Homo-oligomer: A and B are copies of this chain.
C-alpha cells in the first residue's frame, strides 16, 4: 500500500477533476456494421443521449442505421458536431483498417475522435500524426485520468445512489440511466455518473473503473461523485458484483468510494449462474442487499436499499408483471423493470428519494 501517497492526497482533493470529459455533440460512426448488436454503443447513445447525437456516418457496406441524419464529417462539423464517436463494439475491440479513411476525414473536418475500443486511437501512427498536426484530440475512453488520488473515506455533501448487481451485465447501467432520467423528470437535480465505456460516452464523461489501478479504485469512485449541493443526486453506474470471483474487488472499491445513501440491486431471474463462471450460482437478491448494506455502511452508515430492478427481457408482459409483484411482496421493497417503467418504477423512484 502506498503510504507515501497519503500526503499528496489532501492536496489533490482540492484540485479534483471529474474524470474524462468528452466533446459533444457527436457524429456517430457505424463503420461497416451489418448487425445492430455490433453498433450497440451508437444505439445506446441515440437512446440515452439523443441531445448529444447530431447524425450518423456509415460505410457503404453497413446495413445498420440509428435513424439519425446521414452526414459527412464536414456536414456534421458545420451542424455543430465536435467529435466523431466510434459507435461499434466488434469482436476483439479492434479499429478495423477499412475505417481509417473515415477517421482521417473526420480529423480533417475539424472533429475530435472518441473510441472505447481495446486498441487505442493514440497508438495509431497515422491518426496520431494527423491529430497532432491539426490540433485534434484522440480520446480513448478506456484510459483513466492520470491523477487519481487514494481514497480518503471522508463523507461528501450531496446524495448518491449506486446500482449494484447479483452479477455483471444484467442492467446496472440501464437502471442507473433510467433512475437518473426519472429523477430529472421529477425536477430533482441529478447526474448520471458513468463507470464503463458506453456509459461514459452517454454521459459525456466519467471514469472507466475497469482500467484504474487497484490501489486507486476507491479514489476514482470518490473523484467521480465529488461533493455537491445537499439536494443533488449522483446516480452512479455500478460494476460487477460483490459475489463475482473476478470483479468483486472493483465492486467493493466502487461501493466504498461512492459512499451511496441508496443502493438499487439489479438482477436477472433467468440467469442461474454467473456469466462466464458456470460453477458459481447467482446469489439471492436478499443476500446481495444485505452484503452491500453491510460493507457500504463502512463509508456511509446511513446506506439503505431503495429497491430492486429485474431484467425481464426474456418474459411476456403478464409473466413479467406477475414476477415483479411476487418479488416485491417477498422482498418488501419496490421491484421494477426500468425498461418497462410504469407505476412499479415510479414507486421505486419514490422509495429511492425517501
Residues of A within 8 A of B (CB): 1-4, 6, 91-93, 118, 150-154, 168-169, 196, 209-215, 217-219, 239-240, 242-243, 245-254, 256, 275-277, 279-280, 295, 298-299
Contact = CB atoms under 8 A, between A and B. Distances in A.
26 contacts: A1-B240, A1-B247, A1-B250, A2-B210, A3-B169, A3-B275, A150-B246, A151-B246, A152-B245, A152-B246, A210-B213, A212-B213, A212-B214, A213-B214, A214-B217, A214-B253, A215-B246, A215-B250, A217-B250, A218-B246, A245-B256, A245-B298, A245-B299, A248-B252, A248-B253, A249-B256
A275 B153 CA distance: 12
Given A1-B239, A276-B3, A211 B218 contact: no
A151 B245 contact: yes
B252 A93 contact: no
Instruction: Count the copies.
Output: 2
A246 B202 CA distance: 28
A150 B246 CA distance: 6
A2 B276 CA distance: 11
Contacts of A239: 1
Contacts of A249: 214, 217-218, 249-254, 256
Given A210-B213, A214-B214, A248-B298, 10 more contacts: A1-B210, A3-B168, A6-B276, A150-B246, A151-B245, A152-B277, A211-B213, A214-B250, A219-B246, A246-B256
Contacts of A253: 214, 248-250
A210 B332 CA distance: 41
A34 to B, nearest CB: 19
A256 B211 CA distance: 19
B218 A210 contact: no
Nearest to A276: B6
A99 B51 CA distance: 57
A246 B249 CA distance: 11
A260 to B, nearest CB: 14
Contacts of A3: 168-169, 275-276
Contacts of A295: 242, 248
Contacts of A212: 213-214
A133 B210 CA distance: 37
A27 B4 CA distance: 25
A251 to B, nearest CB: 8
A252 B153 CA distance: 17
Contacts of A248: 218, 252-253, 256, 295, 298
Q: Which 3 A-B pairs have the closest CB atoms?
A: A153-B245, A249-B253, A151-B246
A4 B245 contact: no
Given A252-B249, A298-B243, A298-B245, A1 B169 contact: yes
Contacts of A150: 246
A113 to B, nearest CB: 21
Contacts of A275: 3
A218 to B, nearest CB: 5
B279 A153 contact: yes
A93 B2 CA distance: 10
A215 B249 CA distance: 8
